[in-house]
Each structure stands twice: as C-alpha cells, then as structure tokens.
Structure 1
Amino acid sequence: MATGGSFGPSALISLALFAAPATAQSAPDRSGADKHGYWWYQSPPPPASKQDDADALEKPAIPPMAELATWTPPKIRKLIEQQRDYAATVLTVDAVADFWRLQDFARRKARAFAGVTQIAMLQHPELNSKSANPMVGDARSEMTAEKDAIRRSYLRSQAGEFALVMFGRATCGYCRVQWPIIQRFQEEMGWQVTLVDLDRRPDVAQRFGVEITPTTMVIRRASQQRMVIASGVEAYPNLSQMAYQAVRLLRGDIRPEQFMTGPGEDAGFFDALGNGPVSATDPQVLGGDLVVANAERRP
C-alpha cells in the first residue's frame, strides 16, 4: 500500500478505470452533430438570404418596338422613367440614346392617337367642340353677338322680379370704379339698382354677410333668395354674364351643374347635363330652400 499521500500502481489503474467514463462523457461528441431527437435537437440555421437593395442599379429591359406598341401608356411611362434614371446614373451614350428612343416612340404613339382622334371627330361631330365654339374670327363674332342678344333679352324680361345691389363704402376707391358699371347694367337691362353705404349701415353688412367692398348681389323681390355675383371690381361683360347665370339658377331654370352653361348652350356641347345627368341633384328643390341655403350667407 502506498503511503505519504502517494498512490501505488494498482491504485492508479483503478482510479483511471473509475474516471474513464466521466472523462468520456465530458468530452464533446463530435459524431453527434447530425443527430436529431429530443436530447440532440438543434434549431436549423436560417437560410442565407441576400438583402435586396432597393436602389440597386439595373439596366431596364427594352422590348422590341412591335411588343412595346401593345403596352399601356402607364407601363410605357414606367419604362421610360426607369431608363431615364439608369441613363442619368451610368451616363453612357448608349443608355442616353435608348432613353430618347423611348421618348421618340411615346411621341409617335401620341401623334398616332391624335390622328385617329381627328377622324373620330369628323365621323362624330357631336363630340367636336368646334361646332359650338368656332375658332374662325367672323364666326366667333357672330356667335358672341347671338349670345349677347339671348342674355340681354332674358335679363330684361326679369327686370320686374330681380334687383341689383352693390355694397360699398365712401372711402372705397374700387367702389367708385364699380358703381358706373352697375349703372350701365341698369341702363341696358332696365333693372332697379341700389348702392348701400356700409359706413352708414353697418348692420346691413352683418345681415347680408358682406366682408369685401364692393360686393354686388342679385336679390329676388318678395323672396329670401339672393346671390353674390361679384366681389371686388368686375367688368361689365362678366357682370352681366354672372347676373344671367344667377337669375337662371334662382328661378330654377338650370341646376347647379349647369352654372357654366352660357346663353344658347342648353342641351349642347357645353351643357354638363346635355347628354344625361352627371349627378343626383334633385331639380325639384332647386327653386326653394336649396338655392337659399347655397346662395346666401345668413348672419
């Protein structure tokens, strides 16, 4: 038996045999790397993914012109924008030339559409504005005179039912410019016109909601209906046109969608409702509360 704290040969052998299993267990088991099971489970590593760069430079693929001709305009526009960005980045002659080839294709496509449009307008004159708005000088002069006559006749016929009021101030220089225009309207249309000085009648400004001078308003007699037709100085042709439109709207002759329909344009090219309704506005209430609510500003 060994003494002095040392081990003999037999003790060392026994100790080695006893410790061998523990040593074997503590050593890493490299052969079990591919094992699967409850005790050896290991989450699979995520697949390597390549991060896509949104700004990565890629040369656009330009198809043959025969195929490009079948593309829709938004698709062609997108390709042109991609080629433009690519050419502006690489700055090569070929890339820039390809961009302008695409631009030339788009120009020819637009011209082809315009050519077919001309044929369509000739075969369907009801879709052509030239029939209602001629560009030749003599024809335009004749058309303008005809519209003026229709407008004047209509406004004169309503002189007993409507009046024109201009709200101004003694210190308002623009009011001195607008008032002679109002007087001309009176002379030509036979309407009663009134000038209200808001410096003397501040209560009227609040009652009618007037904030800017001069303000010109069409008022229907024996009614609550009224409508502003000018804020500030307005030329006589525009003033008479706005008065014509306002009276027609207040009387229920037109609907709000037709407010830009001029004299003699009813049911024509410039009538928004000429080829069928475009909204659900009820014409039955146009002569009553609807116009009052939309046309006047109550305190």
Structure 2
Amino acid sequence: MTAALALNKPHPALAQSGASLPEVKHGYWWYAPPPKAEPNRTDEVNPLVKPVIPPMAELAAWTPPRIRKLIEDQRDYAATALTVDAVADFWRLEDFARRKARAFAGLTQIAMLQNPALNSKSANPMVGDARAELTAHKDDVRQRYLRAHANEFALVMFSRTTCGYCRVQWPIVQRFQDEIGWQVTLMDLDRRPDLGARYGVEVTPTTMIIRRNSHQRMVIAAGIEAYPNLAQMAYQAVKLLTGDIRPEQFMTGAGEEGGFFDALSAGPIAASDPRALSRDRRIGDESTPFGPRQ
C-alpha cells in the first residue's frame, strides 16, 4: 500500500509548476478495476411513436419487406394505443397487402398461360383419365429401362431372423423379380454378420442395388418400402450408377427427363457448369462412394 500511495502522490516540483503527471501504470498487487459503466435504466417506458403511413400511391412503390415492416410497426402501435383509428389503420395496411398479393397471383396465372414451360400442369395433369394415362406411361418407361439392365444389376435385401419387418418387405422385393426379371437375394445378417460391416448395413430390412462385376452399389430402401416406390428408386439408382443422369437429376421420375421436373432441363444450375466436371469426379469413379467404374 505504501508503494501505491507513493506512485499516486504528485511530485512537489510538478505540483508547483502545474504540470500533469504521466499516466500511472499500476502494478499487479495494486490493480485498480476500470470504472463501472452506467447501468441501463430498465424502468424507462419505451416512447409510443405513431408510424407514418404514406398515401397508397406511394405505398404501391414500396418493396414487400418494407411494407411488412410498416404493418408490424402499426400493429404494435395499435395494440399499445388501443384506439379505433390505430386499429383501423392496421387493417387498412393488411387489406393493401392482401390486394397486392391478389394482383400478383392474377399476373402469375397470365404468365403461366403465356409461358407453358413454366407451368407444371402440362407435365403433371391432375384429371382422372389423363392422370391414369401418365401413370401407365411412367410405369412402361421404368419397366423397359430396368429390364434392359437386368443382366447388369441385382437386388439384395439384408435381414435378420428376428426382424418382423423383414418378413413384410421380402415379398415386395420378390415381386420386383417377378415383374422386372432381376435376380434378388436375401442376406441374413444373423448368419453372416460380416456382411453388415462389409456393406455398411445397420438397419434391417435394407434393400440395396449391386452392380455385377463392380464395386458399385447403392441403398434404395431402409425399412419397409412399397413396391411402386421401390421400383422408382431402383430406376433412379440405375440411371445414376450408369451415368445416364447426374446427381442433380435424382428426383427426375420415369419419362420426366428433359421436361418440367428435370433440374437440368434448361441448363446448368450450379455455380459451375456440372457438365464441365472432370472425369475423376463423375459418379462411379474411385473418388466416389460407389467404387471404381469397370
């Protein structure tokens, strides 16, 4: 403490001349904490400010985020002030936003009629007879494609003796053999536990596509899957593994290639052109989880 007092006491010569002492650096043992900031007063009431609502002609030129902010401010003001005029102004703004959205929807209908390529109705009819015709067409495209690759791929279902769901899924997988002509195989992980580690299977039933004479494989169902979904996933997986589609097109259904539901139908959509990728980054090469291309 004596050292601290000596450091803080001004020198007599400096005191007489009126000169100021240089900033004193406190040592470790006489550390002085910094001054505390003034605490924020939490008991102050937020001022009630009435939002300025411009004329509708001016409001029409505002962007939607700016309009939304004004509506929120007017809502908060009306809920605080609780006057008829404030509440009415809030609902006038809501009505303006409703009419603006209605106008946008109307223009959207015209745009869809004038630009059918942007409209899904031409590729996805919802009327009964047309819907049935589309479903039949997709089934035909899917079956012909999968049958053409029957000698190249096989289906494997991994199961366990104690797996009740496996007994439900296996007849569905067998139907795939009956209708498509693929070889299907049942692998019991209780008898062959090494297969689970080898193929990375942890859940049963797991249905996997395996390409013959290749390391390429792909899970198409984990758990119970209905036959139409199983067939569609098999179709997409084969197209991906053979390089007929890119990963961006994996949700493209049978017969939808190049159409409305094809992500790449109008050109590349990624920051870099996906068709300009080098060969070592394509599906099936050694750098991918599907193994080397044979």
Kindly indicate whether the alpha-carbon contact (under 8 Å) linking 1:255 and 1:283 is maintained by their aligned counterparts in 2.
no
Within-5 A mapping of 1:9-158: 55-158=46-149
Partner of 2:24: none
2:161 maps to 1:170: yes
Distance in 2 between residues matched to 1:257 and 1:173, nearest whole Å: 35
Kindly indicate whether the alpha-carbon contact (under 8 Å) linking 1:228 and 1:295 is maintained by their aligned counterparts in 2.
no
Distance in 2 between residues matched to 1:212 and 1:246, nearest whole Å: 20
AA aligned to 1:206 is A
Partner of 1:48: none
Distance in 1 between residues matched to 2:284 and 2:68, nearest whole Å: 50
Give the percent of matched residue pairs that are identical in Structure 1 and Structure 2: 73
- Report how far residue 55 of structure 1 moved: 3.9
How many aligned residue pairs are there?
Answer: 246
- Report how far residue 283 of structure 1 moved: 7.3
Cα 1:211–1:225 shift into 2, 3 Å: same
2:190 maps to 1:199: yes
Decide which structure has the larger Cα Rg and report it: 1
Within-5 A mapping of 1:210-221: 210-221=201-212
2:291 maps to 1:293: no
Kindly indicate whether the alpha-carbon contact (under 8 Å) linking 2:215 and 2:290 is maintained by their aligned counterparts in 1.
no
- Report how far residue 288 of structure 1 moved: 2.7
AA aligned to 1:102 is L
2:266 maps to 1:275: yes
Distance in 1 between residues matched to 2:123 and 2:238, nearest whole Å: 23
SS class of match (2:202): coil
Cα 1:73–1:190 shift into 2, 3 Å: same
- Report how far residue 287 of structure 1 moved: 4.1
SS class of match (2:221): strand
Distance in 1 between residues matched to 2:251 and 2:219, nearest whole Å: 16
- Report how far residue 95 of structure 1 moved: 1.0
Query: What's the TM-score, normalizing by structure 2?
Result: 0.80
Name whichever of 221-230 and 127-136 sits farther off: 127-136
Kindly indicate whether the alpha-carbon contact (under 8 Å) linking 2:209 and 2:220 is maintained by their aligned counterparts in 1.
yes
Distance in 2 between residues matched to 1:286 and 1:240, nearest whole Å: 24
Q: Which digits, 9 at most, give the CA deviation of each residue in 1:45-71, with x for residues without a partner?
A: xxxxxx9x8943211001111111111
Distance in 1 between residues matched to 2:290 and 2:97, nearest whole Å: 47
Q: CA RMSD in A?
A: 1.9
AA aligned to 2:288 is A
Cα 1:64–1:283 shift into 2, 3 Å: same
- Report how far residue 295 of structure 1 moved: 4.6
- Report how far residue 92 of structure 1 moved: 1.4
Distance in 1 between residues matched to 2:192 and 2:87, nearest whole Å: 70
- Report how far residue 286 of structure 1 moved: 2.4
Kindly indicate whether the alpha-carbon contact (under 8 Å) linking 1:218 and 1:243 is maintained by their aligned counterparts in 2.
yes
Distance in 2 between residues matched to 1:257 and 1:55, nearest whole Å: 52
Gaps of 5+ in 2: 1-17, 19-40
Query: What's the TM-score, normalizing by structure 1?
Result: 0.79
Alignment partner of 2:239 out of 241, 248, 257? 248
Distance in 2 between residues matched to 1:54 and 1:155, nearest whole Å: 71
- Report how far residue 181 of structure 1 moved: 0.2
Q: Which digits, 9 at most, give the CA deviation of each residue in 1:218-250, with x for residues without a partner?
A: 000000000000000000000000000000000
Cα 1:286–1:209 shift into 2, 3 Å: same
Q: Which digits, 9 at most, give the CA deviation of each residue in 1:113-141, with x for residues without a partner?
A: 11111111111111111111112121111
Gaps of 5+ in 1: 1-38, 40-50
